Structure formats: structure tokens, C-alpha cells
Amino acid sequence: MTARSCHDLCRRIARRIEALPDRPVRLMEVCGTHTVAIHRAGLRGLLPPRLRLVSGPGCPVCVTPQTYVDALIELAGRPGVRVATYGDMIRVPGRSTTLERAMARGARVSVVYSIMEALSLARQAPAEQVVFAGVGFETTAPATAVGLKLAADERLANFTVLSAHKLIIPAMTALLESGDLAIDGFLCPGHVSVIIGADAYKPLAARFARPCVVAGFEAEEILRAIDLLVAQLADGRAEVENAYARVVTADGNRRAWALIEETFEPADTPWRGLGTIPGSGLAIRAELAHLDAARRFGLEITAREDDHGCRCGEVIRGAIEPPECPLFARTCTPANPVGPCMVSREGNCQACYKYSRAL
Amino acid sequence: MCLAVPGKLIERDGHSGTVDVRGNRVQARLDVVPDVRLGDYVLVHAGFAISVLSDDEAAEALDLLDDPDEAMPHDGPLMP
């Protein structure tokens, strides 16, 4: 990145915004890594006030429902059961506690970097039931798909997955359908798009007449994507453009997508803050039902939430900014988080607390 | 959570390989990049290579990682 090119891009964006009708222009990013990059680089302060960057439901940890966390905590406390999870999940609050606090009281939880480690745990301890917490968007789901296939091939009898995998486009669709917040265009997530491909946004762009631009993670790449979005608005276009073409193709990774389709099927699934969204989740296929922890252990994940005064739900929807929550930076801080958006390194509240709190 | 880091595939054993990520050797599954070859640069996420980068793409991505102003902040071990 060069300061010069960022400066030029910001000026160009400002000129384009001035030429648009005098109303706020709201662009939403739906990727936690973008949220962090935007706050860390201070991009909001570099852009004209009329251009609002709004963070949407892009942090998979944040959108995982409270009842899912409660199910993991309950499982990890059962005799002979071990929960294997990505580290991002252990501090996310359930209704009354977190996996981390449950661990301190003796619940069996292993933090893993990859599902391959969870499979190793199961192989090494045949007497223990290992439940892998399958969390994440399309970027992460192929890894879980491979893990499921390996477990099936090896006939691992003590390994299951509790799937909370989610698909981003149904969530973007639900936000637009709800109509309760104005979104003029989307900055589309870089690494989700590696898997689904830039063309995956075409039906959404066409149906709702909203421009969609796939963006990389460097400040300059994000500004370039914003410039393309604003140019489309100026021209009255609503197209899909790819500003991260060095990594993202039009078609995505077809092999990864095929693995997802072999092991999962779309399902209605609850999101924290958004309720249940049709076809937005990945449920384990009936052929692999013996590897589905929800079926093996009789668990039900619902949209029920106890919010403890936390307004994460509205932050996730982009309906409010973190400082509008009465708990933000008072009772809720990264050291003592109340809601998932402050727990997660990619949560809007934590990014805002760390980089933009003076605003 | 969708962080992915670029690295060079330096060993391969069937569906698994060793990827050099700025001097750190990490194990990565290669299931979704079946055509990858030794010496290729890949993006690694949650222990899986999710795409193969051209040399130019990799050079650009590694430049970003090497720039301290651009490196992603880490509060602890890198999670996916």
C-alpha cells in the first residue's frame, strides 16, 4: 500500500460522492476481517461523512446463536464427552457462562487449529466422544466437509460434528428483504469468495439492484472496492465486480464447493441478532447422520436469546454502531466482554473499542 | 475468522503437505487444491490450503505480511 494511492482514492471517492444526490450513502461489509481492517486503518475518518461504512453479520463467532454455545457447554460437561473447538469460540457467552469458564470447572474442551486435530483426538481416545464445533462461513466449511468424509471412511465411532456453519448470501438477502435498514451496496468478503466465487453475488445484485464488489484486505484494496461501488451508484449500475482478482475467481473453488454439497445440505438456521434465516445454514446430510452431534446427543439449536442488556443483535445487523450500546466500553470491554461482538477479535465492538473509540 | 495466510508448499504426502509460512512450517491438507504442485504458493485457512496463488499474487500477499503496518494484529496464537 502507498499513502499516495490511498490519498488519491479517497479524493476520487469524495468527488464521486459530491456528485451524488444529497443523502447518506451506506455501504455494508459482511466480513469480520474487513471490519478489523477498516477500523485499524481508520478508513471511516478518511472518507466523506456522507459515506457511511456499516458492519454487517460478517463475524461467524458473533452470529453463532447463544443456544449453540449452551449446547457445547452442556456437552463438554457430560461424562465421556470432549468438545473440540477453534479458539475463537471459547470466550463467547452462552446464556449464563462460556466454554472457557466451564473448562475451569472441569469441562473437557480442547482448542484446535484444524478439524484434523479433532480427528486425532478421537483416534487417540476411542473411549471418549469427541464433538467438533463446526463454526464458520463458506471459507471454513470445506475443512469440516473433509473431516466428515474422513470420519465416515475410517468409521470413527466416537467423532461427531455440531454444525453451525453458515452461508453469507442468504444473510445478505434477509437484511435486504427486511427493509429496516438502507444499504446502498455491499463490500463482499474476500476469503468467502475464494470458495463461492464472485459470480455467486450476481442474483442478489440483480434482484435487489445493489452493487456488490469483492474486496481484498489491504486498506488500498478496500478503498479501491469502495471507489468501484460509488462509481456504480453514480452510473445507476448494480453489478458484481471483483477487486480482489489476484485471489478470487468468478467461479470460486469448485472442488471445495462440491465437498460441501456432498456432506451438507442447506437448512433454516438461527443467527444471533437476525433470527432464523431460510436456507442460511449447513446441516449434515442424512447419509452422514451418524456423524451429526445434534442427532447423536439430541440437541436443538434455537434462536432464543437472553441479551443481558447487550445490543450485539443490533450491532450485527448494522442497525446501531457499537458506542450506541449502553454497555460499550463501560461494563463491556475486551477484557470483560458481555456480548460476542466484544469477545471476537473480528467483532465490530472489539474492533471499534481498539481502534476507533475516541470517535 | 476467515483469515488465510499465504505460504509455499515445500513437502507433499498425498492429501497433506508442509507449507512454509514466512519461515514457520505448518501442516496443511490439500483436498480442495488437488492440482497444487511443490513450490506453489497457497492460501492456508484452518489447516487447509484453500487456493493456489500465482507467483505474482504470492509476492504481493507476502509483501503485505512483511509490512509491519499491514500485518494483522495478533493477541495470541493465530486462529482460523
What does the pLDDT read at residue A305? 84
CB A276 within 8 A of CB A60: no
Residue identified by cell 463482499 is A188
Q: Is the pLDDT of residue A128 over 70?
A: yes
* Per-residue confidence (pLDDT) for residue B74, from 0 to 100: 40
Record: contact A140-B70, CB cut-off 8 A: no
Mean pLDDT of the B57-75 span: 58
C-alpha cell at B33: 487444491
Alpha-helical (H) ranges within A264-322 are 293-296, 312-317
ipTM: 0.91
Q: Does B68 contact A at CB distance below 8 Å? A: no
Q: Which residues of B touch A259 (CB under 8 A)?
A: 31-32
Residue A203 DSSP one-character state: H
> Given this model, what pLDDT does residue A251 score?
97
**Cα atoms found within 13 Å of the Cα of residue A62, Cβ hemisphere only:** 36
Counting residues of chain A whose pLDDT is more than 70, the rounded percentage is 99
Average pLDDT over residues A17-33: 94
Q: Do A142 and B53 touch (CB under 8 A)?
A: no
Domain boundaries of chain B, sorted by first residue: 5-66
Contacts 24+ apart (CB under 8 A), A297-300: A297/A75, A297/A78, A297/A81, A297/A131, A297/A160, A299/A71, A299/A74, A299/A75, A299/A162, A300/A67
Give chain B positions within 8 Å (CB) of A256: 32, 50
Over residues A64-123, the pLDDT tens digits come to 999 999 999 999 999 999 999 999 899 998 998 999 999 999 999 999 999 999 999 999
Among A120, A138, A166, A246, pick the best mutation site for testing chain B contact (most B Cβ within 10 A): A246
Percent of chain B with pLDDT over 70: 75
Q: Does B79 touch chain A (CB under 8 A)?
A: yes
Q: Is B2 in contact with A32 (Cβ distance < 8 A)?
A: yes
CATH topology of domain A63-308: Rossmann fold (3.40.50)
Please give the pLDDT value at position B71.
44
What is the model's pTM? 0.93
How many inter-chain contacts (A to B, CB under 8 Å) are there? Answer: 123
d(CA A27, CA A16): 14
Check whether domain B5-66 has CATH 2.30.30.140, yes or no: yes
C-alpha cell at B55: 507467483
pLDDT band per the 50, 70, 90 thresholds, residue A179: confident
Span A310-338, mean pLDDT? 93
- B18 three-class SS: strand
* CA–CA separation, B35 and B9 (whole Å): 12
Q: Do A136 and B1 touch (CB under 8 A)?
A: yes
CB atoms within 10 A of CB A333: 15
Q: How far are the Cα atoms of A86, A112, A290, A353 from residue A117, in angstroms, in the given order?
A: 10, 6, 20, 33
Q: Report chain A residues whose CB lies below 8 A from the CB of B44.
A: none
pLDDT digits (tens, 9 = 90+) for A229-262: 999 999 999 999 999 998 999 999 999 999 999 9
Report the pLDDT value the prediction gives residue B48, as an integer from 0 to 100: 97
Q: With beta carbons under 8 A apart, name residues in chain A contacting B46.
A: 86, 113-115, 136, 139-140, 143
Q: Is pLDDT above 50 for B77?
A: no
What average pLDDT does range A180-189 have in this prediction? 93
Cβ-based contacts of B61 with chain A (< 8 Å): 246-247
The answer to whether the Cβ–Cβ distance between A191 and B45 falls below 8 Å is yes
What residue segments make up the domains of chain A, in order of their start?
63-308
